[in-house]
């Protein structure tokens, strides 16, 4: 088993490297890519257009060949990161150089500005880098996220966002640290010190609540259906699960949104004041209020509809699965005997049967995690819930490659990990399976 785990982990790392190269390569095939909007802008002269395109090309590093760019992304730092001391030093040096040759007063002014303001920046960047050089020093991990290290994504430098929040380190976006401007909405996002503003945390909360709720509902349904096989309730529950599996998430989400969010509020406002209604979007009522992020009540109200939507198909699928595995266990001889012998023994054995039926469920849950992550994109989009899904949705829409890459890698990682967990669970369940 240990050998197996080592092998699987090595395979997983290889798969992640391979996947990232594949995704990186594919992204770079995008026509226009991140400079698409620059290309489409109207320009007065061709020279102006060329200059703008050239500047954008350099800015996004598109002048380098794809292998170099990928390797940079993988193990070198972001060349244009404003926290990168080498980059700052280079800029400073270039400005000093240019100063000697230029005559344009305006240009001179901006160069002078660089020369005077950069030295302290360089010093602080160097200092930050020095204190954060050890990524595995977890005591400083929080303050060091987003500080570039001598290395790319494999040492924890995930690059900076190009478009969604230009210049902000991707990790800051994912972990919800630091103030930035959301380019898509134009909203200046302040700097709440709340842990729970992080999109990653928001999505994880959404997903884990969904798993939990799904289990809590699917569990009794599955067991009851199995024990009362072919009863009217069993048929009804079966029918329900077929409905749940076939229901398109986005449609179900929209219906809930319209009914519980909008229609209920309308009725509420029209006088039915007893009628509760749910918020139609967001993680909190007011994004700029730091206090709301830690207000459990508000958070839960915002979570109800997304969780329900995200859970529907897993409730349906898992209850079917649990019913099937429960039936299988119930069919076994020792359980049948106990059934015949009477109540006391029956309950004892049922507990036993239940445990045996439950273990395969672990495999199913593990395999469902990547699917849930995908479902989160749709759910978050409908309810405008500030999680990884929304972040990704924005990143794809705006060709923000560093952000896209990061989220794709995180979700690939989820897939790899959950596959390994599923295999292990499988081996635990079925003693015939021996991994070596």
Partner 1 sequence: MAVATTLDREQIASAKEESQRSVIWRRFRKHKLAVVGLGIIGTLTLLSLTAQLWTPYDPTVPGFNSGVQAFANPGYSNPSNGDIYIMGTDNIGRDVLSRLAYGGQISLSVGLLCTLLVAIIGTIVGAISGFFGGFVDTVLMRIVDLVLSLPFLPMLLALSIVLGPGYWTIVIILTAFGWPGTSRLVRGSVLSLRNLDFVEATRALGASNTRIITRHLLPNSLAPIIVDATLNVGGFIVAESSVSFLGFGISEPASSWGNILAGLEDVARQAPLQLIWPGLLIFLTVLSINFIGDALRDALDPRLKL
Partner 2 sequence: MATNANNVNELDNREPADAIKPSENGANTPVQHITGVGGGVTGDSTDYIMRVQNLKKYFPVRGGVLQRVVGQVKAVDGVNFDVRRGETLGLVGESGCGKTTVGRTVLRLLNPTGGNVLFEGRDLTTLNAGEMKKTRRNMQIIFQDPYSSLDPRVPIGQSVGEGLLIHGFSREEREQTVRDMLKRVGLHPEHARRYPHEFSGGQRQRIGIARALTMHPSFIVADEPVSALDVSIQSQVLNILKDLQQEFKLTYLFIAHNLSVVEHISDRVGVMYLGKMAELADRDELFNNPRHPYTQALLSAIPIPDPRIRRDRIILKGDVPSPLNPPSGCRFHTRCWLAQQICSDQEPEWRDIGSENATAHPHLVACHFAEQTKVKGLANEIKEQLGTDTKV
Angle at which helices 401-429 and 388-397 pack, to 10 degrees?
A: 140
List the interface residues with partner 1, window 31-60 (CB under 8 A): 31
Query: Cβ of residue 248: shortest distance to partner 1, in angstroms?
Result: 5
Residue closer to partner 2 by CB (options 246, 436) is 436
List the interface residues with partner 2, window 9-38 (CB under 8 A): 10
Query: Cβ of residue 3: shortest distance to partner 2, in angstroms?
Result: 6
Given 95, 260, 338, 377, the residue binding partner 1 (CB under 8 A)? 377
Given 19, 89, 155, 356, the residue binding partner 1 (CB under 8 A)? 19
Query: Cβ of residue 94: shortest distance to partner 1, in angstroms?
Result: 34
β-bridge pairing 187-189 and 180-182: antiparallel
Query: Cβ of residue 14: shortest distance to partner 2, in angstroms?
Result: 12
Given 416, 424, 425, 429, the residue binding partner 1 (CB under 8 A)? 416
Please name every residue paired with 180 in a beta bridge, in sequence order, or none if there are none. Answer: 189
Measured on CA atoms in the order 69, 73, 76, 80, is the torsion positive or negative?
A: positive
Distance CA 277, CA 40 (A): 44
Tokens at 416, concatenated: 């790899």
Residue closer to partner 2 by CB (options 17, 58) is 17
Given 305, 407, 422, 424, the residue binding partner 1 (CB under 8 A)? 407
In the shown chain, the binding pattern of residues 220 to 249 toward partner 1, with x for contact by CB under 8 A and - for none, equals ----------------------xx-xxxxx
Tokens at 159, concatenated: 């690059």
Please name every residue paired with 160 in a beta bridge, in sequence order, or none if there are none. Answer: 169
Residue closer to partner 1 by CB (options 70, 118) is 70
In the shown chain, the binding pattern of residues 386 to 405 toward partner 1, with x for contact by CB under 8 A and - for none, equals ------xx--xx-x----x-
Q: Are 128 and 141 in contact (CB under 8 A)?
A: no
Query: Cβ of residue 265: shortest distance to partner 1, in angstroms?
Result: 11
Closest CA to 41 of 59, 63, 62, 56: 56
- Report helix, strand or coil for 431: coil
Distance CA 248, CA 250 (A): 6
Residue 436 makes contact with partner 2 by CB under 8 A:
yes
- H helix and E strand count, the chain: 18, 2
List the interface residues with partner 1, window 251-290 (CB under 8 A): 251-252, 254-255, 257-258, 262-263
Residue closer to partner 1 by CB (options 239, 272) is 239
- Secondary structure of 198-217 in HEC code, one letter for each residue: CHHHHHHHHHHHHHHHHHHH
Q: Are 285 and 292 in contact (CB under 8 A)?
A: yes
Which whole-number Å values give the CA distances from 92 to 99, 159, 207, in the listed order? 11, 21, 46
Query: Cβ of residue 423: shortest distance to partner 2, in angstroms?
Result: 15
**Residues in Cβ contact with 189 at an 8 Å cutoff, skipping those fewer than 6 apart:** 165, 179, 180, 181, 182, 287
Query: Cβ of residue 10: shortest distance to partner 2, in angstroms?
Result: 7
Please name every residue paired with 181 in a beta bridge, in sequence order, or none if there are none. Answer: 188
- Report helix, strand or coil for 170: helix
Residue closer to partner 2 by CB (options 100, 436) is 436
Percent of the chain as helix, strand, coil, to the nearest 5: 70, 0, 25
Q: Which residues bind partner 2 (CB under 8 A)?
A: 3, 6-7, 10, 436
Q: Which residues bind partner 1 (CB under 8 A)?
A: 11, 15, 18-19, 22-23, 26-27, 29-31, 242-243, 245-252, 254-255, 257-258, 262-263, 370-371, 373-375, 377-378, 381, 392-393, 396-397, 399, 404, 407-408, 411-412, 414-416, 419
């Amino acid at each position: 088993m240990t050998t197996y785990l080592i092998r699987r982990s090595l395979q997983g790392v290889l798969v992640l490297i391979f996947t990232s190269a594949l995704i990186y390569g594919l992204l770079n095939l995008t026509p226009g890519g991140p400079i698409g909007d620059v290309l489409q802008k109207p320009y007065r002269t061709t020279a102006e257009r060329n200059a703008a395109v050239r500047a954008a090309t350099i800015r996004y590093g598109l002048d380098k060949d794809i292998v170099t760019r990928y390797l940079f992304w993988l193990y070198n730092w972001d060349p244009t990161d404003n926290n990168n001391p080498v980059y700052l030093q280079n800029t400073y040096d270039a400005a000093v150089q240019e100063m000697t040759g230029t005559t344009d007063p305006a240009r001179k002014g901006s160069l002078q500005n660089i020369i005077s303001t950069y030295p302290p920046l360089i010093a602080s960047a160097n200092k930050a880098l020095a204190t954060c050089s050890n990524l595995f020093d977890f005591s400083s991990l929080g303050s060091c996220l987003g500080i570039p290290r001598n290395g790319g994504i494999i040492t924890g430098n995930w690059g900076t966002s190009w478009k969604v929040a230009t210049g902000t380190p991707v990790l800051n976006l994912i972990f919800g640290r630091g103030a930035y401007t959301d380019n898509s909405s134009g909203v200046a996002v302040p700097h709440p010190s709340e842990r729970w503003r992080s999109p990653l945390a928001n999505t994880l909360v959404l997903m884990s609540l969904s798993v939990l709720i799904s289990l809590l509902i699917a569990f009794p349904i599955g067991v009851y259906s199995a024990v009362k096989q072919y009863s009217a309730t069993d048929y009804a529950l079966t029918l329900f699960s077929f409905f749940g599996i076939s229901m398109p998430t986005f449609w179900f989400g929209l219906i809930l949104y319209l009914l519980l969010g909008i229609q209920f509020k309308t009725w509420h406002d029209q006088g039915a004041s007893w009628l509760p209604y749910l918020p139609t979007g967001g993680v909190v009522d007011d994004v700029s209020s730091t206090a709301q992020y830690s207000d459990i009540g508000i958070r839960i109200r915002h979570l109800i509809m997304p969780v329900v939507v995200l859970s529907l198909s897993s409730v349906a699928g898992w209850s079917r699965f649990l019913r099937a595995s429960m039936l299988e266990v119930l069919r076994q001889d020792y359980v049948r005997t106990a059934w015949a012998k009477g109540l006391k023994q029956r309950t004892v054995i049922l507990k036993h049967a239940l445990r045996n039926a439950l273990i395969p469920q672990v495999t199913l849950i593990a395999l469902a995690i990547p699917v849930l992550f995908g479902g989160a994109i749709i759910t978050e989009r409908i309810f405008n819930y500030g999680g990884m899904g929304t972040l990704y949705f924005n990143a794809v829409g705006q060709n923000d490659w560093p952000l896209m890459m990061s989220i794709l890698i995180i979700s690939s990682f989820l897939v790899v990990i959950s596959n390994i967990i599923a295999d292990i669970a499988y081996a635990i369940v079925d003693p015939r399976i021996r991994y070596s």
